[in-house]
Amino acid sequence: MDTLTHALSGALLARATAGIEKPALPLARRVGIGFAVGAFPDIDVVASWISPLAYLYHHRGVTHSLVMLPLWTILLSLIFALLWRKGPGWKTYAPVVALSLAAHIAGDWITSFGTMIFAPFSDYRHGLGTTFIIDLWFSGIIVAGLLASLIWRHSRIPAVAGLVLLASYVGLQYTALQQAIDFGERHAQAAGIPAVAVSALPRPVSPFNWMVIVEDAAGYHYSHVNVRRDQLKSAGPDAGFIARLDAVYRPLDKAAWDYSPRFGNGGQRAAVRAVFEHQDFAFFRWFSAYPVLHRIDDGDGKLCVWFRDLRFLTPGRDSFPFIYGLCSDAAGPMRPYGLDGDSRFPVH
């Protein structure tokens, strides 16, 4: 989830739960704290200042952990108590701080990227997988709840109603997720694909847009579908950005399937697999969910084997993030690099 939506969700939850602490905090202060703390866990983006690899390992780590939530609650509550020295003690701030942190963790947990809720004891990313990383409907419900709270400022009902609507929306997304998975399972059976796993990833614009993935032993069959659409949509050259993104997703009965082999085709597969399983490439094996060969650069005494994660394939998006591989120069040892456009950078 984007940081602004996290902050707004913290503010909405703070408004909906106003008055649970004794003595009650001033409403504006409480909502402001919810906004700030709702964004706080994303402070871990500073890891990107250290290195791209540090970002991969630590983003959505200890600041997003349920295990660490009590510690962050105490530390942040102490800070607020110091900021308002004439106000109540830190324990009065703890409920709104804890709830806002929990809202952030929940907001990342529902995405397909997931979050390390048991860090630092486990680096496994748990995720419900119902919600795209930037969901305008999700964010819009939060904004509507906050605006209604401004209009009826003496009542918690608008904020509570916003939270109920938000939970209902995620429930709708979960139902669409199951429909997408069921479609993938039916396709695998009809096509005779010996499926290892069937999954689906949320996609932008609509809660009914999904990327369905059928994994076999060698790679991934995938299709971009809308589980409720009954007609193809088209977007001409003058169509807006949102319309172009949405038009890609086809009705289930008109689905088009693509296939990406994990290690490429032909005689290169063994060599590509050896690169993927190299000890210095463990970080990408841990990070990626659907790794496939991106390309091989071989020339001028340099060899690079690049991989990408199909989790970040979004039709209509010009760039592809998180491309990593191993390179050797002049027959030297293979070393990890990242790829940004056509420029590579070392990974430490």
Q: What is the pLDDT of residues 10-37, one digit of tens each?
A: 999 999 999 888 888 999 999 999 999 9
347 vs 337: CA distance, rounded Å = 5
Dist. CA 278–CA 250, nearest whole Å: 38
Tokens of 17: 């739960």
- Strands (DSSP E) along 176-301, which ranges? 197-202, 209-215, 219-226, 257-261, 291-299
Which of 38, 35, 40, 29 is CA-nearest to residue 87?
A: 29
Has residue 239 got a pLDDT over 80?
no
How many CB atoms sit inside 10 A of residue 195's CB?
A: 18
> Considering Cα of 103, then 167, then 206, then 113, what sign does the dihedral take?
positive
Give 151 or 240, the one with higher predicted confidence: 151
Tell me: the pLDDT tens digits for 186-214? Answer: 999 999 999 999 999 999 999 999 999 99
Instruction: Write down the pLDDT at residue 342.
Output: 83
Give the confidence band of 314 by pLDDT, cuts at 50, 70, 90: confident
| % of the chain surpassing 70 pLDDT | 100
Give residue 298's pLDDT. Answer: 86
CB 196 within 8 A of CB 213: no
Q: Is the pLDDT of residue 317 over 80?
A: no
Token pair 């841990």 in the structure block, residue: 286
Sheet bearing 343-346, strands edge to edge: 291-299, 302-309, 323-329, 335-340, 343-346
Half-sphere exposure of 216 (CA within 13 A, CB side): 14
Please give the structure tokens belonging to residue 312: 């970040």
**Whether 236 contacts 228, CB under 8 Å:** no
Which helix (H) or strand (E) element contains residue 79? helix 69-83
SS3 34: helix
pTM: 0.92
130, 173 contact by CB (below 8 A): yes
